[in-house]
Amino acid sequence: MSNRGHTLTKIISLPLLLILMASCSRDEEYLALGTLERDRIALTATASEIITAQPVAEGAHVQAGDLLVQFDTRLQKLVVQRLEAEQEERKANLLRLQNGPRHEEIAAAEARVEAIVATLHENRLQLNRTQDLTRRGVEAQAEVDRALAVQMTNEARLRDAEAQLELLRIGTRVEELEQAKAQLQSIQAQLALEREKLADLSVVATRSAILDSLPFHVGERVAAGAEVAVLLSDEPPYARIYVPQTRRALVVPGTELTVHVDGVADSFRGRVRWIAHEPAFSPYYALNSTERSRLVYLAEVQLPESAADLPAGLPVQVELP
């Protein structure tokens, strides 16, 4: 072919190439790329304990309340048992104060007062006799002092016994009852907290889901706060996509879009459930060859029930309006 022929071919091919490139650019603008995702639920350890059991295998479907990870509970059970015993002690003390003294206790206190009164009367007679003998010179003054000391001691015992009797007759003071109630409530609050800690050592599924992973094994000690089980929602997945800035105004929550999943022949009609208000830079796999720095908006497109069995992670292409 002559040089003229080559030149003519180049002239014809260049516009065609520009048209094809513009067409590809427009096609990419009307497509949003992303992946299938499922809601992720991470369950964490609340205490540093050893794993003793993992009754459910990874990948299994679980229901809310199913045991996933069991930690050693021996130490926490002892804490709960100690507080339960202290709670019973506080209850008994409060009941004793509420019921007040028994008749038998009051009668015993009255008998103690009467006995001390009788003893004191005898002490006074003895003191008088000793003083009389001392004046006659029969007894020494030391005997008088000793008798006086005994009398004074019994007078003090009488005052104490009378005070105790008065307290029994008056009964329990309001302040004592309130104090006993507060002590019981404090123990009950501590017990509730420790029981909750004991329950948290059994990590259970919080909803119907798929057990995606168990990062640790039986016999390992796990630090508090570490993820010990990861669940994935068993509801239909959603497409996490990046909407170009030029199509953002047309994509709002509730918008229906067509979703193509790699490896699946049929397409799906999904509904936008959320789209970000703030833009971000395009991820590496959403960039084309000419627009390396355009802004995009992260969005989530909920797929229908017919897509419930699709695994997470599959690439998707979503047609934009």
- Rounded to whole angstroms, the Cα distance separating 92 from 187 reads 13
CA 122 to chain centre: 71
Q: Torsion over CA of 271, 274, 280 and 286, rounded to 10 degrees?
A: -20
The count of residues in the chain is: 321
Backbone angles phi, psi at 231, to 5 degrees: -105, 150
For residue 154, the model assigns a pLDDT of 78
Q: What's the distance, Cα to Cα, between the start and end of the chain in Å?
A: 47
Report which secondary-structure segment, H or E, holds 91.
Answer: helix 74-99
State the Cα–Cα distance between residues 63 and 176, nearest whole angstrom. Answer: 50
User: Phi then psi for 283, rounded to 5 degrees?
Assistant: -70, 165
Dihedral sign from CA coordinates of 225, 230, 231, 232: positive
> Which positions ≥6 away from 76 have C-beta within 8 Å?
47, 194, 197, 198, 201
pLDDT at 310: 93
- In the DSSP assignment, the letter for residue 278 is S
Residue 16 carries which side chain, given as an amino acid letter? L
pLDDT of residue 45: 97
Q: Are 76 and 201 in contact (CB under 8 A)?
A: yes
Q: What is the mean pLDDT of each run of 10 residues along the chain (321 residues)?
A: 44 40 50 93 96 96 97 96 94 82 74 82 80 74 80 84 73 77 94 97 96 96 96 95 90 95 94 91 55 75 94 94 90
CA dihedral sign of residues 8, 14, 17, 23: negative
H or E, element range at 215: none
Q: How far apart are CA 50 and CA 223, in angstroms?
A: 9
Phi, psi of 294 (to 5 degrees): -70, 155
Contacts of 226 (CB under 8 A, 6+ apart): 44, 45, 215, 216
The predicted structure's pLDDT at residue 265? 92
What is the per-residue pLDDT for 171? 62
Bridge-partner residues for 302, per DSSP? 238, 271
- CA pseudo-torsion sign 127, 128, 129, 131: positive
As a whole number of angstroms, the distance between CA 43 and CA 219 comes to 18
- Report how far residue 102's alpha carbon sits from residue 108's, in angstroms, rounded to the nearest whole number: 10
| Radius of gyration of the CA atoms of the chain, in A | 44
Residue with tokens 């603008």: 29
Look up the pTM and report it.
Answer: 0.64
Residue 172: its pLDDT value, please?
A: 59
**Which pLDDT score, from 0 to 100, does residue 138 have?**
65
Which helix (H) or strand (E) covers residue 250, if one does?
A: none
Measured from the Cβ of residue 123, the count of other Cβ atoms closer than 10 Å reads 20
